[in-house]
C-alpha cells in the first residue's frame, strides 16, 4: 500500500492557500542580555548568494574570518575559528577538547553560566571543584591562588563577563598564576568579546569561546572558539579520543587549517555574517569600540542613578555590556518588562537564579550600544514605573 499525505495535517484551505503567513516579526529593540540586534550590514551579508563550503572564495573568507577573530580577541592562536552552533556549543568545545576522565577542573561560579560550566565539565568526566562567589561579586587573585594550591587542577575555568550578574571578572595575573601551577586557563568571553577590553595572549588565556549575538551584533548560531599552544599540547597528549566528534578540534583543524578536509558543512551564510560583524569591529578599531561601550554604559548608569535606581554590581567590576538594575521595593519586575515590550517594543531581561525577581538585566552590546538607545530606554522605563505608581526616592 502506498502512503498518502494526511489530510488531517493539511495546512491548505479550500482555495488551496497555505494557512501559514510569511514570517514577519515585530521591530524590537533588544536591550536585554542577548540576543542583541544585528548590525544592518551583517543582516545584508546573510542574504548574499551561497557558494560551496570548499569553494575557493569561501576558503579565502574563512582565512579572513580567522584573522579578524584573532584581532578581536588579541591572540595569535593558530586554532581560532567559529564553531557551528551557539555560545554553549563553543563552551562545550573548550571543555570537550582538554578534559579527560579524572582530570581535576576548578570552576569559578559567580553566576548562572559558571553553573553551566560545572555541568558540562562533569559530563566529560572531570573531577569538578567549584569555587563559589556571591552573584554580583568576583574572585580575587588570592582566592584563585588558594584554589590552585589546594586542588592542583589541570584546568581553571572562569567567566569573564557573567551575563546573569553583570560582573566583570578581572583576568590580569590569572594566566601567570595558572602557569605557576601548570594548569590551563579557560575563559568564557560570551558577553565581553566586541565590547569589553580583552587581551587573550597578554593575559595568558589558553582557551576561550564567545557567541555571535551580543557584542558582535550578528544573529545567534555561530560562535568563536580559540585554543592556544599549551592547550594544543594537552590535546595532542590525550590518552582518550575527544568524546564529542562534532567539536573535536583536531578534526575541525583539518578543515580550518591548510588540509581543507571536509568535516561538516559549514554554515555558509552565518560565516558571511560573522565575517561582516568582525570586519565592522576592525573598521571601528578595538580601542574606539571599547570606549564607546564604556561611555554609553556610563550614560545609562548616570541616568538610572538620577531616577533613583541602583545598580547591583559595584562600579569597579560593572560590565559595560550588561547592567543589572535593582528592582525597587513594591514593583513587579515582570510587569515592567512586559510593558516595555508591549508599549515600547523594548526588550530587557529579568534576573536569573539567585537574582530572579531582584534585578532587570540591560544589555548595551555592539550595534545597540548607542546614546539614543540609552535615552529611549530611560524615558520608557521612567514612564512605565510612574504608571505603576512608583515614585523615585529622589523626588
Ligand atoms: C556568559 C555566557 N556564557 C554562555 C552562554 C551561552 O550562549 P548561548 O545561549 O549562545 O548558547 C551565554 C548566553 O547568554 C552567556 O551569557
With 80 as the cut, is the pLDDT of residue 238 above it?
A: yes
Give the domain-ending residue among 235, 253, 283: 283
As a whole number of angstroms, the distance between CA 172 and CA 202 comes to: 9
Give the domain-ending residue among 238, 265, 283: 283
As a whole number of angstroms, the distance between CA 52 and CA 128 comes to: 42
Containing domain of residue 301, as a range? Answer: 29-35+286-387
Residue 6 lies in a domain: no
Weakest mean pLDDT among 6-15, 31-40, 44-53, 195-204: 6-15
Same domain? For 265 and 347 the reply is no
Tell me, what CATH number does 165's domain have? 3.40.640.10
Mean pLDDT to the nearest integer, 194-211:
98
pLDDT category of residue 281 using cuts at 50, 70 and 90: very high
User: What is the predicted pLDDT for the residue at 5?
Assistant: 87
| Ligand 1 site, CB within 6 A | 33-34, 86-88, 91, 113, 159, 163, 188, 190-191, 211, 220
Same domain? For 367 and 264 the reply is no
Same domain? For 337 and 237 the reply is no
Q: Which of 30, 168, 190, 349 to mutate to test the pocket of ligand 1 (most atoms within 8 A of CB)?
A: 190
- Which atom of ligand 1 is found nearest the CA of 162? 1
Same domain? For 215 and 266 the reply is yes
Residue 11 lies in a domain: no
Residue 393 lies in a domain: no
Mean pLDDT of the chain: 97
In the chain, helix, strand, coil percent, each to 5? 40, 15, 45
With 90 as the cut, is the pLDDT of residue 258 above it?
A: no
pLDDT category of residue 225 using cuts at 50, 70 and 90: very high
Write the CA distances from 387 to 141, 162, 336, 357, 362, integer angstroms: 46, 32, 10, 20, 20
pLDDT category of residue 177 using cuts at 50, 70 and 90: very high
User: If you take atom 9 of ligand 1, which residue's CA is the nearest one?
Assistant: 87
pLDDT category of residue 394 using cuts at 50, 70 and 90: confident
Residue 300 lies in a domain: yes
Residue 3 lies in a domain: no
Q: What percent of the chain has pLDDT over 90?
A: 93
With 80 as the cut, is the pLDDT of residue 172 above it?
A: yes
Same domain? For 350 and 225 the reply is no
Same domain? For 277 and 348 the reply is no
Residue 394 lies in a domain: no
Same domain? For 129 and 55 the reply is yes
pLDDT category of residue 106 using cuts at 50, 70 and 90: very high
pTM exceeding the 0.85 threshold for the entire prediction: yes
CA of 275 to the centre of ligand 1 (A): 20
- The CA radius of gyration of the chain, in Å to the nearest whole number, is 23
Same domain? For 260 and 119 the reply is yes
Residue 8 lies in a domain: no
User: What is the predicted pLDDT for the residue at 392?
Assistant: 86
Give the domain-ending residue among 253, 283, 313: 283
Same domain? For 185 and 304 the reply is no
Same domain? For 256 and 186 the reply is yes
With 80 as the cut, is the pLDDT of residue 1 above it?
A: no
Write down the residue that cell numbers 564607546 correspond to: 292
- Which atom of ligand 1 is found nearest the CA of 33? 14
- Report the domain count for the chain: 2
pLDDT category of residue 393 using cuts at 50, 70 and 90: confident
Report the Cα 263 to chain-centroid distance in Å. Answer: 25
pLDDT category of residue 16 using cuts at 50, 70 and 90: confident
Same domain? For 88 and 177 the reply is yes
Write the CA distances from 253 to 180, 256, 260, 338, integer angstroms: 29, 5, 9, 45
Q: Which residue has the higher pLDDT, 131 or 17?
A: 131
DSSP structure string for 48-114: SPP--TT-HHHHHHHHHHHHHHHHHHT---SEEEEEES-HHHHHHHHHHHH--TT-EEEEEESSHHH
Burial of 91 (0-12, 13-18, 19+ CB in 10 A): buried
Residue 351 lies in a domain: yes
Tell me, what CATH number does 324's domain have? 3.90.1150.10
Report the Cα 11 to chain-centroid distance in Å. Answer: 38
pLDDT category of residue 395 using cuts at 50, 70 and 90: confident
As a whole number of angstroms, the distance between CA 252 and CA 346 comes to: 39
- Which atom of ligand 1 is found nearest the CA of 223? 10
Of 242, 243, 226, the closest CA to residue 67 belongs to 226
User: What is the predicted pLDDT for the residue at 358?
Assistant: 98
Same domain? For 265 and 316 the reply is no
With 80 as the cut, is the pLDDT of residue 191 above it?
A: yes
Weakest mean pLDDT among 335-344, 356-365, 386-395: 386-395
As a whole number of angstroms, the distance between CA 112 and CA 150 comes to: 24
With 80 as the cut, is the pLDDT of residue 320 above it?
A: yes
Mean pLDDT to the nearest integer, 86-114:
98
pLDDT category of residue 250 using cuts at 50, 70 and 90: very high
Mean pLDDT to the nearest integer, 48-61:
97
Amino acid at each position: 500500500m502506498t502512503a498518502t499525505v494526511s489530510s488531517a495535517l493539511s495546512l491548505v484551505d479550500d482555495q488551496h492557500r497555505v494557512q501559514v503567513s510569511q514570517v514577519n516579526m515585530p521591530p524590537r529593540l533588544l536591550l536585554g542580555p542577548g540576543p542583541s540586534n544585528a548590525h544592518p550590514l551583517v543582516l545584508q551579508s546573510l542574504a548574499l548568494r551561497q557558494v560551496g563550503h570548499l569553494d575557493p572564495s569561501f576558503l579565502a573568507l574563512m582565512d579572513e574570518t580567522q584573522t579578524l577573530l584573532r584581532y578581536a580577541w588579541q591572540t595569535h592562536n593558530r586554532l581560532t575559528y567559529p564553531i557551528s552552533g551557539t555560545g554553549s556549543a563553543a563552551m562545550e568545545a573548550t571543555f570537550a577538547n582538554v578534559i579527560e576522565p579524572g582530570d581535576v577542573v576548578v570552576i569559578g561560579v559567580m553566576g548562572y553560566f559558571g553553573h553551566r560550566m560545572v555541568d558540562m565539565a562533569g559530563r566529560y568526566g572531570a573531577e569538578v571543584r567549584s569555587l563559589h562567589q556571591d552573584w554580583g561579586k568576583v574572585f580575587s587573585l588570592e582566592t584563585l591562588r588558594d584554589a590552585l594550591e589546594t586542588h592542583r587542577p589541570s584546568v581553571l575555568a572562569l567567566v569573564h563577563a557573567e551575563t546573569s550578574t553583570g560582573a566583570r571578572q578581572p583576568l590580569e595575573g590569572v594566566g601567570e598564576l595558572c602557569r605557576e601551577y601548570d594548569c590551563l586557563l579557560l575563559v568564557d568571553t560570551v558577553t565581553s568579546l566586541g565590547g569589553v577590553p580583552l587581551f587573550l595572549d597578554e593575559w595568558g588565556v589558553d582557551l576561550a569561546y564567545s557567541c555571535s549575538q551580543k557584542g558582535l551584533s550578528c544573529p545567534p548560531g555561530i560562535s568563536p572558539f580559540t585554543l592556544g599552544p599549551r592547550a594544543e599540547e594537552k590535546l595532542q597528549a590525550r590518552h582518550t579520543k575527544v568524546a564529542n566528534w562534532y567539536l573535536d578540534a583536531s578534526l575541525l583543524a583539518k578543515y580550518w587549517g591548510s588540509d581543507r578536509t571536509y568535516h561538516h558543512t559549514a554554515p555558509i551564510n552565518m560565516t558571511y555574517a560573522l565575517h561582516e560583524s568582525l570586519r565592522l569591529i576592525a573598521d571601528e578599531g578595538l580601542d574606539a569600540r571599547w570606549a564607546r561601550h564604556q561611555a554609553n554604559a556610563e550614560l545609562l548608569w548616570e541616568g538610572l542613578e538620577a531616577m533613583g535606581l541602583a545598580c547591583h554590581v559595584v562600579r569597579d567590576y560593572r560590565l559595560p555590556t550588561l547592567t543589572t538594575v535593582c528592582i525597587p521595593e513594591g514593583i513587579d519586575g515582570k510587569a515592567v518588562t512586559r510593558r516595555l515590550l508591549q508599549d515600547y517594543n523594548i526588550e530587557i531581561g529579568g534576573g536569573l537564579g539567585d537574582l530572579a525577581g531582584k534585578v532587570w538585566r540591560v544589555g548595551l552590546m555592539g550595534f545597540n550600544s548607542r546614546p539614543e538607545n540609552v535615552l529611549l530606554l530611560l524615558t520608557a522605563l521612567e514612564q512605565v514605573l510612574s504608571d505603576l505608581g512608583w515614585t523615585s526616592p529622589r523626588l
